């Protein structure tokens, strides 16, 4: 019996379930099929009882895709997990304050910075508890961080039976996409408390793949809930994406699903290859940094040689090409994509440089790159690079609209005004390829092409404050870091901003292995290197099964699986750090001796 038929049977018997679906199996399609089935068979009663079907997704991008595929059906609430949970608990402010006080006491006892929290919160807080997606936390003001919503939801679901009864009446069907990335606390809240108290009223369906858990926060597997008979297991073993060679490799990597290629799909044999690069070993007294520097030229040479060879064989790594290079670390992607110094500058200043630079949460990043609306995932085309893009594409209406939205040109009616703008934009276009970030930033200010945000203006103003006059040590350190960051950023060649923008717009062949989940490409080159992120990933120990750190072993296995599963036709894995004999025995077993190359 195929997966959707099993799901329909479970729905008919009111049995909650988990769909375990391998890469390329059409999991989201099955989710949409499920919801459409419920709408067709239960839609009238759901509408009559003023109820809603809930579909929970992991990202806003996925949320908007599902809303579109369901044609904005008003009977279905599609939201991210944080949106859904907050909507469930936000109306119960009195109880929220009680639970927030419990969380506050926990933070005092367990936080690395307990001084940030003061005991007796419930007696002081006089405001409504609130949450938005800014990631900002201030318990004294009732402001919650993303993680707090997860924790408080579990506490509320667990401690307030009336709340779970209300939710069970409102939402008879809850479907959760990418279950493996859902926090274990959330699964606990939904299965052990919400579902447990509403067995006859509520059905919960989880959709995902335990082998595609690549973030630390997710639960990964729901096997324990299946064993306890709280959820029925449904497996989906189709692979509509990949060639025979790639599917066979994926089946070697995983042990809980053996995928097959549906008969209706055109058969593509494809190819797989593993390239093991030989490297000098680290000397006993040699420092890690010195070793990395010594072997870097050989690694770069091997990498460039492989890429060149693949291009000669028809692989297309151009800006609009069909093929992709997957690298484990954002810093390495930045180096290959031409904005290594820019990423390094952000890395020195920020704990999460990817969020600040590539996700454009930093004020300078949004000034140059624009930003993305977190709720709709729509691009806010407010960055300098957007302005240049409009200009180079001769989209003059968008140029005028951009300038007017910035408030720097209220009227552009005279021919002389337009000529002035044309001259400035032509000069800016040239300056971007020859000058520094400071040159371009100052030019845009002086010529009123784009004004900085209020937050960016305040940041720049604070740079002029005499640091010696700041008495607070923490504030002084922050001021020093901000000044060093600003001075370093301004001296970077502006071309790196251009390259970073191309990467953000997915106009390069490079990506991190994390950033491609859900994506697919004609051919894929997966680059692994055990010196890139040794605390998180070790591929050699994964292959030879000697890693004593279970979390790292699982993380490495899943990332390798996800990376390889992106390929539709041909896959090449390039090991820049040498794999030993035992590891190569397993690799040869998986890939086949004829598909191994030593470089």
DSSP string, 499-532: HHHHHHTT-SSEEESGGGTT--EEEEEEEE-TTS
At 51 the pLDDT is: 97
**Helix (H) and strand (E) counts in the chain:** 26, 16
**Predicted confidence band of residue 408 (pLDDT cuts 50, 70, 90):** low
**Predicted confidence band of residue 414 (pLDDT cuts 50, 70, 90):** low
User: What are the backbone dihedrals phi and psi of residue 233, each rounded to the nearest 5 degrees, phi first?
Assistant: -90, 130
**Predicted confidence band of residue 265 (pLDDT cuts 50, 70, 90):** low
- What average pLDDT does this structure show over 19-39? 96
| Secondary structure in 3-state letters for 408-436 | CCCCCCCHHHHHHHHHHHHHHHHHHHHCE
Residues facing residue 183 across a β-bridge: 218
- What average pLDDT does this structure show over 171-182? 96
The rounded Cα 417 to chain-centroid distance in angstroms is: 43
At 515 the pLDDT is: 54
At 400 the pLDDT is: 87
Q: H or E stretch including 98?
A: helix 93-110
At 532 the pLDDT is: 85
The rounded Cα 185 to chain-centroid distance in angstroms is: 20
At 514 the pLDDT is: 59
Is the pLDDT at 105 greater than 90? The verdict is yes
The pair of three-digit structure tokens given for residue 561, joined into one six-digit string: 């699986």
Instruction: Tell me the C-alpha to C-alpha distance, in Å, between residue 421 and each of 214, 273, 400, 416, 489.
Output: 48, 53, 9, 9, 27
- What average pLDDT does this structure show over 217-225? 93
At 117 the pLDDT is: 84
Is the pLDDT at 350 greater than 80? The verdict is yes
How far is Cα 364 from Cα 357, in angstroms, rounded to an integer? Answer: 8
Sign of CA dihedral 293, 299, 301, 303: negative
Is the pLDDT at 324 greater than 80? The verdict is yes
**Predicted confidence band of residue 410 (pLDDT cuts 50, 70, 90):** low
How far is Cα 385 from Cα 77, in angstroms, rounded to an integer? Answer: 36
- What average pLDDT does this structure show over 146-171? 96
Q: Which of 294, 243, 246, 253 is nearest to 272 (CA)?
A: 246
At 10 the pLDDT is: 98
**Predicted confidence band of residue 473 (pLDDT cuts 50, 70, 90):** confident
At 246 the pLDDT is: 97
How far is Cα 123 from Cα 535, in angstroms, rounded to an integer? Answer: 43
46-81: pLDDT as tens digits: 999 999 999 999 888 888 899 999 999 999 999 999
- What average pLDDT does this structure show over 265-290? 88
**Predicted confidence band of residue 517 (pLDDT cuts 50, 70, 90):** low
pTM: 0.88
User: What are the backbone dihedrals phi and psi of residue 24, each rounded to the nearest 5 degrees, phi first?
Assistant: 75, 15
How far is Cα 18 from Cα 493, in angstroms, rounded to an integer? Answer: 51
How far is Cα 305 from Cα 302, in angstroms, rounded to an integer? Answer: 5
């Amino acid at each position: 019996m195929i997966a959707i038929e099993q799901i329909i049977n479970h729905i008919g018997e009111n049995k909650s379930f988990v769909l375990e679906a391998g890469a390329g199996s059409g999991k989201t399609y099955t989710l949409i099929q499920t919801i459409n089935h419920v709408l067709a068979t239960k839609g009238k009663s759901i509408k009559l009882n003023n109820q809603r079907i809930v579909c929970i997704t992991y990202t806003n991008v996925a949320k908007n895709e599902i809303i579109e595929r369901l044609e904005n059906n008003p009977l279905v609430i599609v939201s991210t997990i944080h949106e859904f949970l907050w909507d469930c608990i936000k109306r119960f402010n009195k109880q929220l304050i009680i639970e927030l006080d419990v969380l506050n006491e926990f933070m005092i006892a367990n936080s690395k910075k307990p001084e940030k929290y003061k005991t007796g919160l419930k007696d002081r807080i006089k405001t409504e508890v609130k949450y938005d997606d800014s990631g900002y936390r201030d318990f004294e003001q009732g402001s919650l961080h993303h993680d707090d919503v997860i924790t408080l939801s579990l506490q509320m679901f667990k401690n307030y039976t009336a709340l779970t009864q209300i939710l069970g009446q409102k939402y008879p069907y809850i479907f959760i996409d990418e279950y493996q990335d859902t926090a274990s606390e959330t699964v606990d809240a939904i299965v052990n408390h919400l579902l447990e108290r509403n067995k006859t009223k509520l059905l919960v369906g989880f959709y995902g793949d335990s082998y595609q858990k690549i973030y630390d926060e997710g639960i990964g597997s729901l096997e324990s809930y299946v064993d306890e008979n709280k959820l029925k297991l449904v497996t989906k073993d189709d692979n509509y994406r990949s060639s025979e060679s790639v599917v066979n490799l994926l089946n070697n990597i995983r042990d809980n699903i053996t995928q097959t290629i549906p008969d209706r799909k055109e058969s593509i044999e494809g190819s797989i290859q593993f390239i093991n690069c030989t490297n000098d070993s680290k000397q006993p007294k040699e420092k890690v940094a010195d070793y990395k520097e010594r072997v870097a030229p050989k690694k770069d040479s091997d990498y460039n040689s492989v890429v060149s060879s693949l291009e000669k064989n028809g692989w297309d790594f151009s800006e609009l090409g069909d093929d992709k290079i997957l690298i484990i670390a954002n810093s390495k992607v930045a180096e290959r994509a031409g904005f290594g110094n820019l990423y390094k500058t952000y890395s020195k200043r920020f704990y999460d440089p990817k969020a600040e630079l590539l996700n454009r949460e930093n004020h300078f990043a949004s000034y140059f790159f624009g930003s993305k609306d977190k709720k709709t995932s729509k691009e806010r085309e407010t960055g300098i690079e957007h302005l240049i893009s409009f200009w180079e594409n001769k989209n003059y209406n968008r140029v005028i609209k951009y300038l007017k939205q910035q408030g720097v040109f209220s009227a552009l009616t005279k021919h002389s005004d337009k000529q002035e703008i044309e001259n400035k934009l032509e000069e800016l276009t040239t300056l971007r390829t020859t000058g520094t970030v400071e040159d371009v930033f100052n030019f845009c200010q002086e010529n009123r092409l784009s004004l900085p945000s209020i937050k960016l203006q305040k940041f720049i103003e604070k740079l002029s404050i005499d640091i010696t006059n700041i008495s607070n040590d923490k504030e002084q350190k922050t001021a020093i870091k901000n000044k060093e960051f600003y001075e370093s950023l301004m001296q970077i060649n502006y071309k790196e901003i251009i390259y970073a923008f191309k990467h953000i717009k997915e106009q390069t062949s490079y990506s991190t292995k994390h950033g491609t989940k859900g994506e697919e490409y004609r051919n894929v080159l997966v680059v692994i290197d055990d010196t890139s992120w040794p605390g998180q990933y070790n591929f050699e120990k994964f292959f030879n099964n000697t890693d004593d750190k279970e979390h790292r072993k699982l993380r490495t296995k899943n990332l390798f699986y996800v990376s390889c599963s992106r390929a539709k036709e041909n896959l090449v894995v390039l090991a820049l750090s040498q794999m030993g004999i035992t590891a190569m025995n397993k690799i040869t077993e998986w890939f086949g001796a004829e598909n191994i190359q030593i470089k």
